[in-house]
Each structure stands twice: as C-alpha cells, then as structure tokens.
A and B are shown apart, each in its own frame.
Chain A
C-alpha cells in the first residue's frame, strides 16, 4: 500500500518511559512493540521474538535492551540485534538473530513510525514543535476513510496526513489518526493548553461524542 512509507502516529511519546515499559500497538494490522531505551531513544520493533514467536511487548526493558518474556533473549536498542542468550551465557550470539526494527521519530509529543523506509528523510507531518498537552487516546471502530470524512463533517480541518485541527467543547484541539488496522483506528487527542480540572470532563465528553458520531457512520 502506498500509504506505508508515510510517517504514522502510533503513541503519545510521554507514555514511553526510559528504560521502563513497553507499549503494544498495531499499524496496518502489523503488531508493533514500542519502548524507550534507558538512554532515552524510542524504538519501534516488530512485536515478535525471532526465537519462538512470543510478542516482545510482553518482555522487559533492561537498560538499552529489551528481553523476551519466554527465554530472556536480549535485543539491543537501535539495530534490534540479539546480544545475549541466557541459556548459553558463555557463547557469543550469531549476528543473524535480529528483530525487525522500523524507522521511528519523536515529534509533536507523539511517536511516529514508517512501516517502509521512505525514499527521502522528510520529517513527520505538521508542526515540528510540541503541540500542546496530550489528553488521551481512543479507539474509533471505523476505517480511516470513514474517520476522515466524519472529521470533515464535524468541522475539523486536515493539516497534514493523519493530523487534524478542530475544537471540542469550545477548546482548540489536535487529533492524530493512527491506522491501526484496515478496520479501525486510534485517535490521539491533544489540547492547545493544559485543561483545568473543571474543563476535563466536558472536553472528554465531547471527544466521546465525536467518536460516537464517527462510529455512527456507514461505509462510503
């Protein structure tokens, strides 16, 4: 699919903590394991250990390595090379054992992934600066084309591929659409400012209302 070389938003960057957690997500139905090394760089890997096929998102981040939950095989940040096999502690690891890693960038408070390396090295779309405050991510159970059409009807303006501007409960917001699957998407919601405690409930209610409008649409 021609959409693959583009940058796709896949998670809020603030939800990946250095040397700590993993996030499992999908992009075009491909399982991804996201994590951040202790030295701070974000990683986007195929979510499958090349040893026995267990999702690496079930594993543990250990410094600048991700260890599989099943046999503890450790893979290094950046190139995804296997660097330790605990069952064979005194043996060097053959270089061919490697997790597939995807091009990844952090931008506007989001993690962006390319499923296929683009010919140029253009950055993710939209403004390069942090765009306000991450609020939440919601699943919208409709294909991306229906979501695009519904957002236009709801008065949102598309600023770049997958990047939308609009207002919810009279507050300016930005929405980033992640094509998790051919059938459904994740919408990452950012506010222009940090909402007050009083502003949050009506803002989130408006977001849920927008999702309900999206999910009420039928295939075009």
Chain B
C-alpha cells in the first residue's frame, strides 16, 4: 500500500513512529505494528538491537534518537534529525508519556501546543486561571541556520505550572518548532532557578486528519514518580483533545480569511506562514473557490 501523500515536507524528513522501547522483544515473526501516512508498518529489533522498520516489505531508513524511533519514507537526501542537547544533560529526568491518539490534523495539534491564550479556559487551575488571561507581547524568529521557529520572551501566569509546582508563578516560556510535526517547549523549572524544563511534542501522522501525539519530558525533577509526571501531562492533554477534535475544518487553513489572527497569535501566525513558505499540503485545508 502506498503512503498517502507525496508532500516532500513529510516524505523527505524524519517522522516518529513512537517510543523506541515499544520495539523491545519484537522480532520479524512477531513484529510491532503501527501506522504512518495511511500505511501499515512493522518493526522489531535485530540481533544488534537496532530498530528495523518495514513498509510494503521494504526496509525504511531508521534512526533511534531521544528515545524514539524515526523513519524516512522518501527518496530525497537525509538531513540529520534536529538537535535536543538537553536530552543528554546530566541530572535531567527523561520520561516518555506515551502516545495519545487525536482525530485531527497534526498541524492543529502543534499549533495548540504553541498557544498560551487557551490556558485559562482549557487548563483552568493549572496552566492558567481567569482573570489572568493576558498574553503579554513576545517575539518570534526563524533561525537562519536551522530554519527552526523560536517564540521568545513568552510568559504567562500559571496557578500550577507542573505536577510539582507548589503555587502560582509567572512562567517563562520559549517555544521551538523543529519540523512541521515536532515542537518543543522550554519553561521555568519549579525546582531549579536558571534552568528550563523541556517538553517535546512529536506527532506521528496516521493520515491527514489522525495522529498519535508523543510527549517527552526532559525535566529537572527529583521528587515525583514517573507515574505522577505522566498523569499530569495526560490530564493536560486530555483537556486539549476534545477541543482539538471539535475544530472545523480538521485540517489547518493556511490561506485566506477563514480564521482570524491577533497579535496574541503571533506564534501561530508565524507557524502558518512558515508552513505556507514550504508549500505544505499534508494536513492542510485547501480552500475551494466559492
């Protein structure tokens, strides 16, 4: 079965298929099954414990990085995967929160991850609380070397910024978009001044309107159990999921006037422009002329 898109933004780039440990114990006879771009994948580990991923009986180029398996479905040149140096910093906890299915475009999922304005309404009592609704001015830039988007100088009042936060803080945020379907958030650590915890969001696109969202925590955290950290992220994601699945159209509109942008939506507007400049088609709402 062919992959469902020829979009080079998707085919000629690394896409995650989930946590690497999912492959442990699997063999060619009893492979691990997943889906990507409307195609069936089978995966296992070979005798050298390397990941092997097949689609349509053919082996795909594979990376194991940041605890996840990444595959390359195209025939273009293979760039290295994005840098995430915090992953290797000593003292950080690495926690994979598992994949959560969401019935919408992965671009909607990334855009929601980049948005602070919904905190008081969707994550009431943790990431925000009315009347603290203001999104103070911040800036965005596209890194000339990596081509990645950065949103800088973001801050937002948060009643409980993470599972271990004891009280409200004005949380400092930096957002980063590495690929159309991967992003990271750097936020004030409640446990250490001067450093930031990192949350990675790696979206596995099953098709234009269905994804598995994988969440990785790279935290300075010594008290909480993995289960408590995962539970907090699942609560947050569980609040986002019904909103994401209610949005219409499911695919992200990049052109036209279907959706309005204000200054508080600068990151979203930057992301959409960045996708437009790449001529992204996959997961995008293509407007039909009236």
Contacts and interface: CB of A to CB of B under 8 A. Distances in A.
Which label, helix, strand, loop or mixed, suits the secondary structure of the A interface? loop
B262 A50 contact: no
A207 interface: no
B174 to A, nearest CB: 18
Give chain A's interface residue range (CB within 8 Å of chain B). 20 to 34
Interface of B: 116-118, 120-122, 130, 133-135, 243, 246-249, 253, 258-260, 262-265
B124 to A, nearest CB: 11
Nearest to B121: A72
Contacts of B116: 87
Interface string A77-90: 00000100111111
Contacts of B263: 88, 91
B120 A54 contact: no
B112 to A, nearest CB: 9
Given A72-B130, A72-B133, A85-B262, A54 B246 contact: yes
B135 A69 contact: no
Which label, helix, strand, loop or mixed, suits the secondary structure of the B interface? loop
Contacts of A72: 120-121, 130, 133
Nearest to B248: A53
Given A50-B260, A51-B259, A88 B134 contact: yes
Given A51-B260, A54-B246, A86-B134, 17 more contacts: A50-B258, A50-B259, A52-B259, A53-B248, A54-B247, A55-B248, A69-B121, A69-B122, A70-B118, A70-B122, A70-B243, A72-B130, A85-B262, A85-B264, A87-B117, A88-B134, A89-B133
Contacts of A97: 260
Interface in A14-72: 31, 48, 50-55, 58, 69-72
